[in-house]
Structure 1
Amino acid sequence: MLSLLHHPNLVNLIGYCADGDQRLLVYEFMPLGSLEDHLHGLPLDKEPLDWNTRMKIAAGAARGLEYLHDKANPPVIYRDFKSSNILLDDGFHPKLSDFGLAKLGPVGDQSHVSTRVMGTFGYCAPEYAMTGQLTVKSDVYSFGVVFLELITGRKVIDSTRAHGEQNLVSWARPMFNDRRKLARLVDPRLQGQFPMRGLYQALAVASMCIQEEASARPHIADVVTALSYLASQTYDPHALRGRQRDDQKREDRLILNIEGVVRDDSARENAGIMNKNFDRERAVAEAKMWGANWREKQRAAEQGRFDAVNLNG
């Protein structure tokens, strides 16, 4: 299958060898290893991935999935999206590898592909794990899990942690609804070097991707738009420190204004639920909108350079 797929965020298949019952695939060399190596197997003398690089990797990996889902014909469901299958080229350019479990997606009136449940525990979407019904939204769930890995630096399943923290998704989900706890989700190796507003938007995207209901998850194209914007915003901890404080004050005023109209305990509880959904969906919508504007500016700039070349020519 990989021989028919070509995209900057998919590894290139160089060739293969077949000798008797032995089979060997030869891929391009990826000098920086896998994303898993940099998140969970990094030697103490190596610097951890910074926030900008993490967003760049997430955006590139999402573009690889977008190609499989929306550009390939018929669509391809990757089925084994995980950090060990994201390889890194020079400059931390990500490429998806290992298409041994990939399946052609549904065509025509089909809504899903029924198949034996395969993949890696912790990354599989719940509906696929329970029914064997596979859709492109199953990949979106797996992407959300890997995105959480990038943000938190935690393993998806870690039996060495305390009870209640061993499953990454189960540990993270309750904190999505409490803005005061969101900073606890960030990899401590970043030592606070991340944009708070960018964190809100990144966690909003991750939260939408790991929804229990497949229909509630976003399309991968929307994820790409949001993450392309986040990846384009180069984080400078010194330049943005004051701006972060201003953003936080605006967010706090918004929450206070909304909560100020609540009159009783039951209404306060309902408003709290509405605020949580509002915050998450607003963050996703803002990231998508800014991402679309950013891409439009990029196209305009490229067109301007093209026109300049024609005039000079």
Structure 2
Amino acid sequence: MSGKPSWRDRLFGGLKDTSQRLTGNLAGIVGAGRLEQHDLDRIEDALIMSDLGPATAAQIRDKLAAERFDGGVTEYKVMQVVERVIAAILRPAARPLEIDAFPRPQVILVIGVNGSGKTTTIAKLAHNFVEQDYGVMLAAGDTFRAAAIGQLKIWADRIGVPIISGKEGGDAAGIVYDAVKEATATGIDVLIVDTAGRLQNKRELMDELDKIRRVLGRLNPEAPHNVVLVLDATTGQNAIGQIETFKEVAKVTGLVMTKLDGTARGGVLVAAAKSQGLPIHAIGVGETLDDLKPFDPDELAAAIAGDTQ
């Protein structure tokens, strides 16, 4: 009986459609030592269609236009250039979520639209920190949805970490206040706070997050230490709009992208790195606790370019 595919296999499998879309548009591009104008147009269109974004596509086009291909142009050589440029764009954004706050706890607010995988991402982050021997506590600050509170309680129980929660419709800031007090008193290293994911009323969400910030500031002026936005890769370019909105309403400090195992639109992570200037902490390729890993820019570049070497 074969076991579960490796993390790398799932990442490459999830981005297979992206890499095939790129290589499909390169079919027949062979010949002289330079690419023709119409070839460059075709490649640039393919890159944009793969959700890499116009700025990244233009940068890759310029690099390809300047490239001398010894022995003639081949699809493989073109994809090698694509991979190198993508990796160079992604590397400055790759930054693991480090626990370095003093005094403890380090407070991490996790935000994202409903359905982005926010609650399961919180569980995976908590699991990863527990594996690193940190004391972890969860706070169920998404009081807008009873399902979110229940789901987080199940995960906390499964991971074996404490959780502070209240009733549906309760005061999120009050829950966060209680959680910080409890975490401080019990020597917790990391407090991960779930927050409401409704963007329909930006003002209401902004007010709630501001209130949470004020409460945190009274207990520790440095808190929150991180505001992590969870993005669903399957939304493609819509993810860029979410980043811009949440930067405005929540002062986002870093990104986690989920569902990269089931999308042809993972190129949006490159577009985000190019246009938004935010750290990318981790990426997810599944539903189990081990399916979230620190972001490796070279591995993602290889997956987008279909480089399995």
Q: TM-score range by the shorter chain?
A: under 0.3
Alignment TM-score, normalising by the size of structure 2: 0.23
Identify, as 1 or 2, the structure richer in helix.
Answer: 1
More strand by share: 2
TM-score, normalized by length of structure 1? 0.23
